[in-house]
A and B are shown apart, each in its own frame.
Chain A
Amino acid sequence: MKPFTDILSRYQSWLIALLLSLGLIWIFANRVAEAGNQLAAVSQPYEGFTAPDFDFTDSSGNIVKLSDLRGQPVILNFWASWCPPCRAEMPAIQSVHQVNQAQGLVILGVNATDQDSIEQVQEFSKDLQLTFPILYDSSGVIQSLYNVTALPSTFFIDRSGIIQEVIIGGPIAEALLEINAKQILEEKP
């Protein structure tokens, strides 16, 4: 009787064809029927999930929910005035805000006010002429909702309220911000 290895080498081509056919069957058997819907039903601060909801006060003094912005893409940037990479990426964020505001992009700068001072934040915003809304997270509730463990942390949320991308750390290059902004702007609800 021939050794097992001899039999294997004699029928190599057939074994490879069988293996690849099984691979194709496995791919088709594991197709996803409804793309992404299962994840979107759950609210978590990670890619593919619905962005956790929170309230904030807009520039007119009205209380707005993040979920009220559905239909508009949102960039959430967590930052502090003492954090060098946060400061370094702010001009790029402001530039992306100016370029894409008319297309409906909303940028919210969530300041980690529990570890910052409002005076310094206001001075910094004035120096850089930031025109997008700055939210003061004095109690750290929003940071906790988004599991923010490092600053800056940036979340790109599409028109349906789904987180498409999370970037921890920085400074983020202006081109990367712009490419991600364009992706969430192009995403249809």
Chain B
Amino acid sequence: MLPTLQIGPLVIQTPGLLLLLGLWLGLSLAEKHVNKHAIAANHIYSFTFLALLTAVVAGRLLHVIRNWGVFSDSPASILSLNPGMLEPFGAILGFTIMLIVFTKRYRYDPWTLLDALAPILAVLMIAVSLANLASGKGYGYPTDLPWAVPLFGEARHPTQIYEMLAAGIVLVVLWPGRRWVKSRPAGVYALSLIAATASNRLIFEAFRADSALTNDGIRSSQVVAWLVLAVALWLSLKIARKDGQDIHR
């Protein structure tokens, strides 16, 4: 675990640094393979920047609305740089709004743009596991298995390593340079990556000891991952069937 790097008076949050590194590597990979999709390389960068900005603003806005009682007493906090004050649903909404606006402005097919951006997600998932390893979050249940790691006074499942390896396998299997990426209908590549990532979460969340639970003891992240998996598979099937009908015609 290495949650912070202290260089003189400067404290750097290691997880944040790893996520930034993941984003940069993901963007480089997406740019390298952008010629497979009808998207301009510079639009990968401009969309990512704008989508991140909109996601952060929308995430913060929803957080402020939900906690208006607190923020009305301290309005300066609305502009605070604390990353903890974001609502994930607001961030997803912000991303979706920017996707619609951007694809309308440049006349892109949203699925084609998502396919071009998909490598960023694949690399980011590896970075997220490494960030969890650095911060100590997402630790596993105690176990007697020979590959258990000593953590918090007990031998535990190395869950962050499991997740990193699984994300690495997804990246290798769904490498953006593969020939089939270009031959599949637009959207299938991005949806395959989303489905594979959701499957990883569904499987490996079971080994984590810090899961948020419902009253019945069910892990909330697994339920969300299952829903994401179901939607991604359903949309893939729909796109594939539509494409099959178009070819038949």
**Are B11 and A169 in contact, with the CB atoms below 8 A?**
yes
In this assembly, does B202 line the interface, its C-beta being within 8 Å of a C-beta of chain A?
yes
Segment 79-126 of A: residues with Cβ below 8 Å from B: 92, 95
How many residues on chain A are close to B (CB under 8 Å)? 42
Segment 94-140 of B: residues with Cβ below 8 Å from A: 136-137
**Are A176 and B84 in contact, with the CB atoms below 8 A?**
yes
Q: Which of A18-26, A55-63, A65-73, A128-136 contacts B (4 or more CB under 8 A)?
A: A18-26
**Are B74 and A173 in contact, with the CB atoms below 8 A?**
yes
Interface residues of A (CB under 8 A from B): 9, 12-13, 16, 19-20, 23-24, 26-28, 30-36, 38-39, 42, 44, 46-49, 92, 95, 149-151, 167-169, 172-176, 178-179, 182
Tell whether A26 pairs with B203 under 8 Å between CB atoms, given A169-B4, A169-B13, A173-B77.
Answer: yes
**Are B82 and A27 in contact, with the CB atoms below 8 A?**
no
**Are B237 and A16 in contact, with the CB atoms below 8 A?**
yes
Q: Which of A13, A35, A42, A179 contacts B213 (CB 8 A)?
A: A35
User: B68 to nearest A CB, angstroms?
Assistant: 10
**Are A27 and B223 in contact, with the CB atoms below 8 A?**
yes
User: A158 to nearest B CB, angstroms?
Assistant: 15
Contacts of A31 in B (CB 8 A): 216-218
User: A112 to nearest B CB, angstroms?
Assistant: 13
Q: Which of A28, A169, A178 contacts B218 (CB 8 A)?
A: A28
Among residues of A, the one whose C-beta sits closest to the C-beta of B66 is A179
